[in-house]
Each structure stands twice: as C-alpha cells, then as structure tokens.
Structure 1
Amino acid sequence: MRRGVTHLALVFALPLGGLLFAASGAIASESAHDWTGLYVGAFAAGGIGTTEADFGNMHPTGVFGGADVGFQYQLDQVVIGIEANASLSDLDDDQGVRGTASFQTQDMDNIASVRAKLGMTVGERSMIFATAGWGWGQSEYGEGLVEQKKSISGPALGIGGHYALNSHFVGRLEYVHYFYGDTTYNLTVPVTVTNSADEIRVGLDYQF
C-alpha cells in the first residue's frame, strides 16, 4: 500500500509541476475561455486496485499513461459533455508464499471508460466537474499455480477540474473510481472475488 501511495504522489507532483511551468508562459490575457468543442489529450496516472478474496485483500498498484477524447458544450456557466478514455494500465500485487496453495496474484490491465460530464465554470479559465459512466478492464487473478484472465466492467464515477492555459491547451486533474463488482474465476475450484480501482490523472488536452 505504501508503494501505491508513493507512486500516486509522484504521478501527481511531476506532471502538475510541468503544467504549472507551462502555464507561466502560455497563459494569454484573453477573455473567458469558451469550453464548447471537441478535444483530445493524453494523461499520466496512478492507480490502486482492491481485490477482496478468500485469503485476504490485495491492493495492486501501478503508474501508467493513456489518452482521452471528448466533446463539451457550454450553456452560460454550465458545461455538459461526454468523454472516452483508454490506458495502458498495469496494476499488480501478490501475497503469500509462491508455489503454495495460499499464494495469490492480481493484475488489472487496460482500464478504459466512457463517461458523461457535468461541469461549472469557476472564474474565466477554470472548470470543475462531476463525471459518471461505465468502465472496463482486464483482471488476471490466480491462486497457487493457476491463473485466469477475465474482462471486468462496472460503473465509473469521478470528479475533476480543468484549467485553460490558452484558447487550445487545457490542463486537467481528475479522480475516478471503478466499481467492477464480483468476478468468478475458474481455477482449481471456482473462486469469486470483488474488484474495484481508484485512479488519479494529470493530463493535457488540445481543444479544437
């Protein structure tokens, strides 16, 4: 768990520092930002999963990157939109003594989602938002020497904020929780575990 927290701290601090440095030279003295339009972007992220299983809980962690695409429409101070994202996530954890029946492994990969956004402008260049939709991923769970990979999915909920560096480049900071629910793996005997994941992203979008 301590390793996961360290990863998240690095993911948050390093890209955000870069965004703030870029902002110092990129922000122009313009009127209020118009949030309407199509955008594409990339992000760095850190994730911590939770797997509730027979022999105890695991918390796979990882640092990864991804991309997003979306569309927003502004109505006065309200901004509505839709966004899809995909990542090369790789969250790993294991526990127990390797080679014994009690040894467990968990690997969560390829986290993605499609979500609606509802936001509100704050000042001339900032926006805060809530987001909800559906998330997907892959989970490879194992006990002893037997593993199985399965697709997982469930509701995705989050909050975040955007800051317009200029009329095209927009920074983002976002948190998303994925409720993957129960998954049954056909190992030596069928095993049902409960999966979820938390993700923090720092990114940069280009708005057309």
Structure 2
Amino acid sequence: MKKTTLSAGLIAALLATPTGAADLRYGAPYQQPPPYAAPQTWTGAYVGVNVGYQFGSAAFNMNPSGFVGGLQAGYNYQINQFVIGAETDFQFSGAEDTFAAYKFSNPWFGTLRGRIGWAMNNVLIYGTGGFAYGGGEVEWFGWSQTKTHTGWAAGAGIEVAFTPNWSARAEYLYVDLTKETYTMVGLTTDIESSIVRFGLNYRF
C-alpha cells in the first residue's frame, strides 16, 4: 500500500514538472517599473530672449512695422495648477513707416506686466497685462524729434518646458502707447502695435 502511494506521488510530480518548466521558460518577462519623474514646477525666477514681428499703426495712416527682439525676466509662483507672476521686458524694434515727407518709427519699447496661468505639468497657458512705455521718432526734411510714450499692454501665450530649467514659448502682445505731440513738425500721434514673438527662457 505504501509502495502504491509513493509511486502515484512520484508519477504526479514528474507529470507536473514539464508544465512548470514550460511556464518558467515561456512566460511573459517581468516588466521593470519606469523611473520616477518629479512633476514640473513653474515656481522660480527666469531670464530669456525673444524675437518676433511688430505690426503698428500711427497718425496719417502710417503703419510702423518691423522685426523686434529683446530680453525678458520674471518670477513665477505655482499654487496647485495656478501660476501667478510678474515679468518685465525690453525690446529693440525696426518698426517704421513713411507718409509724404514724414518718417515715423518706434525704435524701442518695454513693459512691466503681471501674469496668471494654468499649468498642465510641463505646459503653461497664460494671460498677461500691465504698464508699457516706448520711444517714438519723427523725421522731416532732415529734422528729427524723439518722444517717450507711456500706456498699457495685454496679451496671452503658451510656454512648454522641455527640461527642468529650459522652456520655449509663443506669445501675442498688444501695446497701446498714448498720444504725444512732436512740436517741431506739428505731429500728434499715439502708437498701437500687435506683436507676435517667440522666446526661450532659463529658469533658476
């Protein structure tokens, strides 16, 4: 009776062994979990550069337009998915146009703006608005006069972080600089501009 029980157990073990070996040999390999990646944070200071194009308008149906480029710096603070911050920028511009004997240009401008946005990990969608200032210059028969205009700016953009420190963005900005009188030539004008620009930021 003992021999029969022992033989039956041995036969069952031998029959089960190939199945177990096959499972070990042909089973799906163990998948390693992906490395942990910390979520993107937008909190901190940053500096950057930008380049774009300015579409302007001024008196006498002049449209001072041209390429722009400059620098920006700011600070963001993230609360859950909300991002608030402030930014300043300074731009050099080739925007100019002529009417009859007049040539009018907006060679530089700058802004100081607040920003509020919504972060989706490494993507930030934001709106912005605040104070603006800029230079105007009129030329007439070899004479020239410059003025500094002040006003406001507002816009929106999207920024994408491609490393923990570097990000790229696309932005639209409307700048409205109020009227100034160029007494030498009797010209009173404001400067309204739409700017489309692309930037690169480094965050500390």
Q: Secondary structure at the match of 1:88?
A: strand
Deviation at 1:153, TM superposition (A): 1.3
Deviation at 1:31, TM superposition (A): 3.9
State the match for 2:14 in structure 1.
none
Contact map agreement 1:143 1:187 (CA 8 A) in 2: no
Map 1:76-155; keep pairs closer than 5 Å: 76-96=80-100, 103-121=101-119, 123-155=120-152
TM-score of the two chains, using structure 1 as the length reference: 0.76
Q: Unaligned stretches of 5+ in structure 2?
A: 1-35
Q: How many residues align?
A: 170
Q: Unaligned stretches of 5+ in structure 1?
A: 1-28, 97-102
Deviation at 1:143, TM superposition (A): 4.5
**Distance in 1 separating the partners of 2:108 and 2:193:** 12
Deviation at 1:95, TM superposition (A): 2.6
Contact map agreement 1:91 1:108 (CA 8 A) in 2: yes
Contact map agreement 1:65 1:88 (CA 8 A) in 2: yes
Q: Which amino acid aligns with 1:82?
A: A
| Greater relative contact order, per chain length (Cα 8 Å cut-off, separation 6+) | 1
Q: Which amino acid aligns with 2:193?
A: A
Deviation at 1:187, TM superposition (A): 2.0
Asked which structure has the greater CA Rg, the reply is 2
Contact map agreement 2:70 2:89 (CA 8 A) in 1: yes
Q: Please state if 1:41 is matched with 2:48.
A: yes
State the match for 2:163 in structure 1.
166
Structure 1 segments of 4 or more deviating over 6 A? Answer: none
**Distance in 2 separating the partners of 1:196 and 1:79:** 29
**Distance in 2 separating the partners of 1:115 and 1:202:** 17
- CA offsets per residue over residues 48-97 of structure 1, 9 Å max, x none? 1110x2xx21111111321111000000110000001112222111132x
Q: Secondary structure at the match of 2:50?
A: strand
Q: Which amino acid aligns with 1:174?
A: E
TM-score of the two chains, using structure 2 as the length reference: 0.78
